[in-house]
Chain A
Amino acid sequence: MSKAILYDSTLCIGCKSCESGCAERWGLPYNDKIAAEETISAHKLTAVETHGERYSRRLCMNCQQPACASVCPVGALQKTALGPVVYDGDKCMGCRYCMQACPFQVPTYEWDKRLPKMRKCDMCYQRQSQGKQTACAEACPVGATVCGERDELLGEARKRIAEKPGGYYNKVYGVKEVGGTSVLYLSAVPFEQIGLRINVPMEPLPETTWRVLELVPDVVSTGTVLLGGIWWITNRRAEVAKKEGRRG
């Protein structure tokens, strides 16, 4: 069983309590100026976006098979059994491949620091491992963000759609996207209208590189035999030619 977050944008009133709760949990400054920013950054790990009269939240999707964790050369990012994708800043060498690889452009960087780290939401791994709710879910006054077991939340999301078919777009975002995410979205309108990416592949992204990486042992072994064989033949041929040339 793994933890997840269900965000129901039809319930969200755009109060940004989740933002301040998140800032508090990370010990980040939060004021009116930061509240006005609608993009996530190294000092704002979740952001409420306004799309006309609707709201939407951005945060790390904590994918089931995260691209960021698969591409990290030093294993600084890990998908935990609990659900969150966690980051170890002491391992990170700052190659920023996680940022390039993330289909949701979630990881952000401390660009102005001399010894920077990557920043992203980790679905409150520490709080959740102590059995507590995520800071954003706890802060939400209207229950637009709730956290719990992924299976149960998925059931809850489908129940809400079934109970109020006119009120919802008939899909849950995050079920199949990039092989499934730990953050699930409900919306009244098609997802692209609340700023979600609908062009992401439905297969887990780590597959795309693994298909090639798994060939490496074959390439190395076949290559060694092939190159060694060619060398042996050409070299032998040259030796023979030399000898025969001398005799003649």
Chain B
Amino acid sequence: MKLEFPKITVWRAIFAAIMLTGLYATYLRVMYGLGGSTNLSDKFPWGLWIGFDVMCGVGLAAGGFTLVAMVHIFNIEAYKPVLRPAILTAFLGYCLVVVGLLYDLGRPDRLWHPLVMWNPRSVMFEVAWCVMLYSTVLFLEFLPMVFEKFGWHRPLKWIHKISVPLMILGVLLSTLHQSSLGTLFLIVPEKLYALWYTPILPLLFWVSAIAVGLAMTIFESWHSSRAFGRALELPLLASMGRVLAVVLSVYLWIRFLDMSHRHVLGLLWLNRTETWLFALEIALTAIPAVLLFQAKVRVRPGALYACAVMVVFGFITNRLNVGITGLEAGSGTHYFPRWTEVAVTLSIVAAGFAIFHFVAQNFPVFEAARHEAAVAGQEAREEDPVAV
């Protein structure tokens, strides 16, 4: 047997650099606490790790429940080829959210406390339970890929038996979780800037999560088609782009209708940082919506991909605005993440990409790979009479 050293490529070098910096930042976090590793303060207790790692992480994992609902509940078979990558993304996303929480919590060793210490009146309690339960559901939804890979037919059967209630549970938990991240901020009416504070924040969070779930699916398919040299499922993605356009339009409609009812449209004439950040967020939502309504945009992979990227960035801008920038004025302070916070966040994202790549390469995630597994499974079944 020959030992093979991994080839050093630019991407691997960047990856290693990010992970090493993250490791050092982790050391600082553990040794010197939150004060020694973040720019958080008494007036600004939540920063990048909540605003990005948790709020964006959960949102970007929304493809999992959106696709599960479309394929298994609405029974739209056509979307099946992108279901597994979406479930994988969601599962990884939730795992990484938990990792982010371990950094952010003052006492990560007490992560389990909400299991036994209850306060059902707390949104954070709901969030904690949603994270725990939905991570479990995602794990179970991911398991068939593992079982297929190793040809374990019996557990595969068991899991198929509970799949429908499991899928329904997953969609419900996601709905609760996505919306409850918005509900978290209802408690700060005097802090959160009026362009973002609204009693319907939970609804807006849920609708935008559906949009970004679709956008992330397009994003992943495009990247994986390049990385693994597969053919892009273009007609499927184009039709998904059409759905995305509708969801984005519904979102914008609710958003502006609500703003006009709350009489805050006048704020748009103020020359403030918030106004520009709001404009950026809306532009990154409205432009892809308009573009995606045009058939000629949807059938061009590059344009479709660009739209998905815009939606993802618009979503991230929105969550950062609600979770960080929109709170600065009301908190009477400024916050900018310290390098350690950025380093940890980057290494979490990098780890996400790397693990996705590894799993997608080694497990039946994409349709082509899945077909091979099915054939292999058939052979195994013929050999093993118990599995029939």
A residues apposed to B, CB below 8 Å: 39-42, 67, 70-76, 91-97, 99-101, 103, 105, 107-117, 197, 199-201, 205-206, 208-213, 216, 219-220, 223-224, 227-228, 230-231, 234-235, 237-238
Query: Separation in Å of the B111 CB from the closest CB of chain A?
Result: 7
- Take A93-B107, A94-B106 as given contacts and tell me if A111 and B190 are in contact as well, using a CB distance cutoff of 8 Å: no
- Take A75-B117, A114-B33 as given contacts and tell me if A234 and B74 are in contact as well, using a CB distance cutoff of 8 Å: yes
- The answer to whether A209 touches B33, judged by C-beta atoms less than 8 angstroms apart, is no
Given contacts A99-B42, A216-B176, A238-B77, 5 further A-B contacts (CB under 8 A): A91-B113, A92-B110, A93-B108, A103-B188, A238-B75
- The answer to whether A96 touches B186, judged by C-beta atoms less than 8 angstroms apart, is no
- The answer to whether A71 touches B187, judged by C-beta atoms less than 8 angstroms apart, is yes
B124 interfacial by beta-carbon distance below 8 Å: yes
Among B35, B104, B187, the one with the most A-chain Cβ atoms within 10 Å of its Cβ is: B187
- The answer to whether A111 touches B40, judged by C-beta atoms less than 8 angstroms apart, is yes
What CA separation (Å) do A206 and B36 show in the bound complex?
33
What CA separation (Å) do A43 and B72 show in the bound complex?
55
- The answer to whether A93 touches B171, judged by C-beta atoms less than 8 angstroms apart, is no
Tell which of B72, B123, B168 touches A213, judged by Cβ atoms closer than 8 Å.
B123
B24 interfacial by beta-carbon distance below 8 Å: no
Tell which of B110, B118, B331 touches A94, judged by Cβ atoms closer than 8 Å.
B110
Interface string of B227-254 (1 = CB under 8 A from A): 0000000000000000000000000000
- The answer to whether B106 touches A209, judged by C-beta atoms less than 8 angstroms apart, is no
- The answer to whether B119 touches A109, judged by C-beta atoms less than 8 angstroms apart, is no
- The answer to whether A101 touches B187, judged by C-beta atoms less than 8 angstroms apart, is yes
B380 interfacial by beta-carbon distance below 8 Å: no
Query: Separation in Å of the B314 CB from the closest CB of chain A?
Result: 24
B69 interfacial by beta-carbon distance below 8 Å: yes
B302 interfacial by beta-carbon distance below 8 Å: no
- The answer to whether B33 touches A116, judged by C-beta atoms less than 8 angstroms apart, is yes
Q: Which chain A residue has the least Cβ–Cβ distance from B29?
A: A114
- The answer to whether A212 touches B186, judged by C-beta atoms less than 8 angstroms apart, is yes
Q: Which chain A residue has the least Cβ–Cβ distance from B101?
A: A95
- The answer to whether A100 touches B33, judged by C-beta atoms less than 8 angstroms apart, is no
B64 interfacial by beta-carbon distance below 8 Å: no
Tell which of A41, A74, A116 touches B113, judged by Cβ atoms closer than 8 Å.
A74
- The answer to whether A223 touches B175, judged by C-beta atoms less than 8 angstroms apart, is yes
- The answer to whether A208 touches B117, judged by C-beta atoms less than 8 angstroms apart, is no
Query: Separation in Å of the B166 CB from the closest CB of chain A?
Result: 12
B139 interfacial by beta-carbon distance below 8 Å: no
- The answer to whether A231 touches B121, judged by C-beta atoms less than 8 angstroms apart, is no
- The answer to whether A41 touches B42, judged by C-beta atoms less than 8 angstroms apart, is yes
Q: Which chain B residue has the least Cβ–Cβ distance from A230?
A: B73
Query: Separation in Å of the B334 CB from the closest CB of chain A?
Result: 15
B189 interfacial by beta-carbon distance below 8 Å: yes
- The answer to whether B168 touches A231, judged by C-beta atoms less than 8 angstroms apart, is yes
How many residues in B have their beta carbons less than 8 Å from beta carbons of A?
61
Q: With a CB–CB cut-off of 8 A, which chain B residues contact A116?
A: 33-34, 106-107
- The answer to whether B118 touches A109, judged by C-beta atoms less than 8 angstroms apart, is no
- The answer to whether A231 touches B73, judged by C-beta atoms less than 8 angstroms apart, is yes
Tell which of A101, A211, A220 touches B199, judged by Cβ atoms closer than 8 Å.
A211
Main secondary structure of the interface of B (DSSP, over half): helix
B337 interfacial by beta-carbon distance below 8 Å: no
Q: Which chain B residue has the least Cβ–Cβ distance from A200?
A: B190
B125 interfacial by beta-carbon distance below 8 Å: yes
Query: Separation in Å of the A54 CB from the closest CB of chain B?
Result: 20
- The answer to whether A209 touches B168, judged by C-beta atoms less than 8 angstroms apart, is no
- The answer to whether A111 touches B113, judged by C-beta atoms less than 8 angstroms apart, is no
Q: With a CB–CB cut-off of 8 A, which chain A residues contact B36?
A: 112
Q: With a CB–CB cut-off of 8 A, which chain A residues contact B9?
A: none
- The answer to whether A109 touches B45, judged by C-beta atoms less than 8 angstroms apart, is yes
- Take A100-B46, A213-B183, A235-B75 as given contacts and tell me if A93 and B172 are in contact as well, using a CB distance cutoff of 8 Å: no
- The answer to whether B73 touches A109, judged by C-beta atoms less than 8 angstroms apart, is no
What CA separation (Å) do A67 and B188 show in the bound complex?
9
B1 interfacial by beta-carbon distance below 8 Å: no
- The answer to whether B73 touches A227, judged by C-beta atoms less than 8 angstroms apart, is yes
- Cβ contacts A to B, 18 pairs, < 8 Å: A42-B42, A70-B122, A71-B124, A73-B119, A74-B110, A93-B110, A94-B105, A99-B45, A101-B188, A199-B190, A201-B190, A205-B187, A209-B121, A209-B186, A212-B180, A213-B126, A227-B69, A231-B168
- The answer to whether B172 touches A71, judged by C-beta atoms less than 8 angstroms apart, is no
What CA separation (Å) do A28 and B148 show in the bound complex?
61
Query: Separation in Å of the B210 CB from the closest CB of chain A?
Result: 14
Tell which of B41, B73, B107, B189 touches A201, judged by Cβ atoms closer than 8 Å.
B189
Q: With a CB–CB cut-off of 8 A, which chain B residues contact A199?
A: 190
Tell which of A73, A109, A113, A200 touches B114, judged by Cβ atoms closer than 8 Å.
A73
- The answer to whether B32 touches A112, judged by C-beta atoms less than 8 angstroms apart, is yes
Q: With a CB–CB cut-off of 8 A, which chain B residues contact A95?
A: 104-106, 124
Q: With a CB–CB cut-off of 8 A, which chain A residues contact B202?
A: 212
Query: Separation in Å of the B340 CB from the closest CB of chain A?
Result: 13
B14 interfacial by beta-carbon distance below 8 Å: no
- Take A72-B124, A97-B184 as given contacts and tell me if A219 and B175 are in contact as well, using a CB distance cutoff of 8 Å: yes
What CA separation (Å) do A75 and B119 show in the bound complex?
5
- The answer to whether A228 touches B122, judged by C-beta atoms less than 8 angstroms apart, is no
- The answer to whether B171 touches A223, judged by C-beta atoms less than 8 angstroms apart, is yes
Q: Which chain A residue has the least Cβ–Cβ distance from B120?
A: A213
What CA separation (Å) do A114 and B24 show in the bound complex?
17
Q: With a CB–CB cut-off of 8 A, which chain A residues contact B118?
A: 74-75
Among A103, A114, A115, A230, the one with the most B-chain Cβ atoms within 10 Å of its Cβ is: A114
Q: Which chain A residue has the least Cβ–Cβ distance from B111?
A: A93
Q: With a CB–CB cut-off of 8 A, which chain A residues contact B46?
A: 96, 100
- The answer to whether A67 touches B187, judged by C-beta atoms less than 8 angstroms apart, is yes
Q: With a CB–CB cut-off of 8 A, which chain A residues contact B191?
A: 100, 103
Q: With a CB–CB cut-off of 8 A, which chain A residues contact B45?
A: 96, 99-100, 109
Q: With a CB–CB cut-off of 8 A, which chain B residues contact A238?
A: 75, 77
What CA separation (Å) do A51 and B43 show in the bound complex?
20
What CA separation (Å) do A235 and B77 show in the bound complex?
11
